């Protein structure tokens, strides 16, 4: 495969790209350098593009189904990357991970049930619970030794008979934590003891930095496997979010059947031809590209960390164990959320994510996406230096 070029600058403007072409809507400015939406500015890998081109040679794009090679590519990937033995009968589908989480909420809980969310966390967790007319129970994360960890005592104090589900972010977004086996085991045992179903968002599970190991929640024990749904996708890993193709792994047969029924009622299970082709190609041929990507992202992070330490010492960086999303603490500047967000736009001309949107614990933080060529990152950090060197 050779060496991939992650330094290449590709103009995404004019492609209906949310990150760039929606700047005037989201930031009220076309001048900001956008590092907000969680996709990357790198080309989709050649083996995925080539597979799609090959499929277009057959110029009929009617109804299709997912073949055995598709399922086997997923099974093999989970074994190679995560040492997880997955069976074909466990693999279902969703148009996206958030859609899978929502379908799980609709399938396994009822209006008024309580669902645990652990902020600061990916903000659609809040939206989907509220939108489904369930009640959010917050179990905020704690910072210990510079990283987030679970607050088990707080969790146990908030559980009651109406608490039916926990939405887990594994790896964690925005903090970038790779939850350890010990952390997940204690969390899972509390949920089993209280008959709480775990729905695990593992969309960032392939983007793990050296020294860390992703543990799929369902792989820990048979008991855990029977008490969870795991949502995954190639979208973050291979930059193919636009194909709207994700997978939901449900080892428990009864739960699998119930989820599939909800999927079928909405006629959501078919997916699309090119999403299927892209996923199969990614999980069949993606190992070397992913290794090179992770090395590049690690170098990007190292550059960011050194730059901020030298030039913006008021900013505290939470060291990520996974993902290309970095959590930055601006609290020393003493700004309120809206002021901080707008200051970054107006004074630094950089478009980041407002930490307050991630819930409790997010005030005073901004999230930056380093899934971009090094020169783009250098430009963004230079703008931050100019704007925040106050």
Per-residue pLDDT of 263-278, as tens digits, reads 999 999 999 999 999 9
Residue 1: what pLDDT?
64
DSSP of 173-210: TTT-----HHHHHHHHHHHHHTT-EEEEE-TTTT-B-T
As a whole number, mean pLDDT of residues 361-376 equals 98
The whole-angstrom separation of Cα 148 and Cα 54 is 45
pLDDT over 90 percentage in the chain: 99
The whole-angstrom separation of Cα 66 and Cα 73 is 11
Q: Is the dihedral of CA 44, 50, 54, 57 positive or negative?
A: positive
Q: Is the dihedral of CA 234, 237, 243, 248 positive or negative?
A: positive
Per-residue pLDDT of 320-336, as tens digits, reads 999 999 999 999 999 99
pLDDT band at 2 (very low <50, low <70, confident <90, very high): confident
Q: Over the chain, what is the mean pLDDT?
A: 97
As a whole number, mean pLDDT of residues 127-131 equals 97
pLDDT band at 390 (very low <50, low <70, confident <90, very high): confident
Coil, strand or helix: which one is 150? coil
The whole-angstrom separation of Cα 191 and Cα 31 is 47
The β-bridge relationship of strands 325-329 and 246-249 is unpaired
Closest to 218 in 3D by CA, of 51, 363, 83: 83
Per-residue pLDDT of 283-308, as tens digits, reads 999 999 999 999 999 999 999 999 99
Which domains does the chain possess?
Answer: 18-45+287-388 (3.90.1150.10), 62-285 (3.40.640.10)
As a whole number, mean pLDDT of residues 105-127 equals 98
Per-residue pLDDT of 151-207, as tens digits, reads 999 999 999 999 999 999 999 999 999 999 999 999 999 999 999 999 999 999 999
């Amino acid at each position: 495969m050779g060496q991939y070029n992650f330094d290449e600058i590709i103009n995404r403007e004019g492609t209906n790209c949310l990150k760039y072409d929606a700047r005037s809507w989201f930031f009220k400015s076309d001048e900001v350098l956008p590092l907000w939406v969680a996709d990357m500015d790198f080309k989709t890998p050649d083996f995925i593009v080539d597979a799609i081109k090959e499929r277009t040679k057959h110029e009929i794009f009617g109804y299709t189904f997912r073949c055995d090679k598709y399922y086997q590519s997923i099974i093999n990937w989970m074994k190679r990357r995560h040492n997880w033995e997955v069976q074909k009968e466990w693999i279902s589908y969703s148009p996206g991970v958030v859609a899978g989480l929502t379908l799980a909420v609709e399938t396994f809980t009822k209006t008024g049930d309580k669902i645990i969310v652990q902020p600061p966390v990916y903000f659609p967790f809040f939206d989907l619970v509220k939108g489904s007319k369930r009640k959010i129970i917050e179990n905020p994360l704690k910072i210990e030794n510079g990283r987030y960890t679970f607050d088990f005592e707080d969790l146990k104090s908030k559980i009651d008979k109406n608490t039916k589900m926990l939405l887990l972010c594994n790896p964690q977004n925005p903090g970038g934590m790779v939850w350890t086996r010990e952390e997940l085991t204690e969390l899972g045992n509390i949920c089993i003891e209280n008959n709480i179903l775990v729905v695990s968002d593992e969309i960032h599970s392939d983007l793990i930095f050296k020294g860390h190991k992703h543990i799929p929640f369902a792989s820990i024990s048979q008991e855990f496997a029977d008490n969870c749904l795991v949502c995954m996708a190639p979208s973050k890993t291979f930059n193919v979010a636009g194909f709207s193709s994700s997978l939901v792994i449900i080892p428990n047969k009864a739960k699998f059947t119930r989820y599939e029924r909800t999927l079928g009622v909405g006629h959501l299970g078919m997916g699309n031809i090119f999403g299927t082709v892209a996923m199969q190609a990614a999980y069949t041929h993606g190992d070397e590209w992913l290794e090179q990507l992770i090395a590049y992202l690690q170098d990007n992070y190292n550059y960011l960390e050194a730059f901020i330490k030298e030039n913006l010492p008021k900013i505290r960086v939470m060291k990520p164990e996974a993902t290309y999303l970095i959590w930055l603490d601006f609290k020393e500047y003493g700004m309120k959320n809206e002021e901080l967000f707008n200051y970054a736009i107006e004074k630094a001309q950089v478009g980041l994510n407002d930490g307050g949107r991630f819930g409790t614990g997010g005030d005073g933080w901004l999230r930056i996406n380093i899934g971009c060529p090094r020169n783009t990152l250098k430009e963004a950090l230079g703008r931050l230096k100019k704007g925040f060197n106050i």
